[in-house]
Chain A
Amino acid sequence: MSADIDIDCSGLTCPIPVIKTRERIAEGGGAFSVFVDNDAACENVSRFAGNSGCSVEVSSVEGGFIVRVTPGEKAAEAAEPLPVTRQVPAGDKVIFIGSDELGRGERELGTALAKAFLYACTENEDRPSKMVFMNSGVRLVTENDETVAHVKQLEDGVSCVTTACLTERVQVFLQSALNL
């Protein structure tokens, strides 16, 4: 994939690519590129940006499309105040996941429960503000395709951190947020 992609929507289905595009336009910056891997997302992102006062250029690339969005003068305003929008703010809940199994016992059941738990998080109105994955829990965001998809969906408004990128910020965060 080319390096000049600002929003990578691979594996994301509608309406998530539009939500991500809208957030970017509302921030009020300059031109940016969105990668989408399906026709519907390409058409929807183009349609949304085009109708929000941006100029849009679509190019076909391997595995999908790059939509180049150049916001016009009033685009940030147009993307923000939708008359019917109600953005639910992320809660202050932090979820710590230290294993790819939920509970102790039969492994098959434990992994199925962990998967179901992440799915339930995506469906819950009261989303966590942060999710921390450690030890074998990291597998849920790296190896298991189904749970990766759930976490990607959650990332819309939730920042996920894993020990793979355990920086000073995260360690400090762990201590303060979880009272470790």
Chain B
Amino acid sequence: MGPGDLEEVLSQLPWDTVPELISKVESGEDAGVYLLDKDTALVQTLDFFPPIVNDPYTFGQVAAANALSDIYAMGARPITALNLVAFPCSLGLDVLAEILSGGHDKVRESGAVIVGGHTIDDEEPKYGLSVTGLVNPKEMTTIDGARPGDVLVLTKPVGTGILATALKAKFIGDGDMAAAIESMRTLNREAALLFSSHGVTTCTDVTGFGLGGHLFEMVRAGGVAAELWAVEVPLFDGTLEMGRMGMMPAGLYRNREYVGDAVRVDGSCDPTLFDCLFDPQTSGGLLGSVGEKNAGALLDALRGGPCPEASAVGRIVEGEVKITICEEKKT
């Protein structure tokens, strides 16, 4: 669902609150956080979607890495996971076994354990997981702490939505998706550990709302503005070309509409590049708002380690909630 429609539905619900619930559902936080005692909080999230790659085992890996990502975006450690499966038996049970095996291997890599699941018959397959993690609330990373002067650090390239659309249209083949697939099945665990060791306290993960949509949630939660430097945003090879070929997923347009007037372009920006900033991502990178003095060391550590394409993509500035897109980096 697009972020605009979702917000409309959620705003109609009476959100009950208890003192132990320390995450704000309405602020666009990545996961729910429930305090167990003063040093321990339970972090809960879930995510599932239809296949975006052709290979079932890889799809399972990507879906699991994506579901685990919200836990890492909170600075938490995943402990248990439940499988969520919708599947048409006509596709063959061996296909389902492969999907689950991919998910299982990824969860094992994260250090968590699968404790069960639920399956329904559905004509279009869908897979995902509900994941539970633990965090010390004092070490938790939230979405609402961005402060003027912070540098915005993105850990993975953007473009999985456009490339998946192009794959579906057979404008590209599986081989052209290789880099994006590798990125989507890579856990955000190592990046989250580096964020934590470099004092990052404000973080979200880039998924369905696209870089622009998730950055908007971050600036709105923090009551600040941001500059986004379009050419500094890493893109997977082929993303711009396929965007120009009209391979933009419908969700991209919904994301762009959601941010609406809160985004403006300073000077000029290639319209396709602009739209790529709203491409819905599957298992995208972490977006951290990092104090300027730590940004350089964090980027070096990310690039030299788990995230070779990590980049400083913008900065937080004073002002009313909005995003200014500049093609070039501002100094």
Contacts and interface: CB of A to CB of B under 8 A. Distances in A.
Contacts of A51: 244-246
Contact of B253 (A39, A87, A113): A39
Contact of B238 (A84, A88, A113): A84
Contacts of A173: none
Contact of A15 (B91, B169, B244, B253): B169
Tell me if A's interface is mostly helix, strand, loop or mixed.
helix
Nearest to A41: B250
B253 A40 contact: yes
A47 B246 contact: yes
A117 to B, nearest CB: 6
Interface range on chain B (Cβ under 8 Å from partner):
20 to 34
Contacts of A40: 248-250, 252-253
B170 interface: yes
B173 A18 contact: no
A136 interface: no
A43 interface: yes
Contact of A14 (B90, B121, B248): B248
B91 A18 contact: no
Given A113-B90, A120-B90, A123-B91, A84 B172 contact: yes
Given A82-B171, A84-B172, A119-B123, A18 B90 contact: no
A18 B249 CA distance: 11
23 contacts: A14-B165, A14-B248, A14-B249, A15-B169, A15-B171, A15-B247, A18-B245, A40-B248, A40-B249, A40-B252, A43-B248, A46-B246, A47-B245, A51-B245, A52-B245, A84-B171, A84-B238, A85-B171, A112-B121, A116-B90, A119-B88, A119-B124, A125-B54
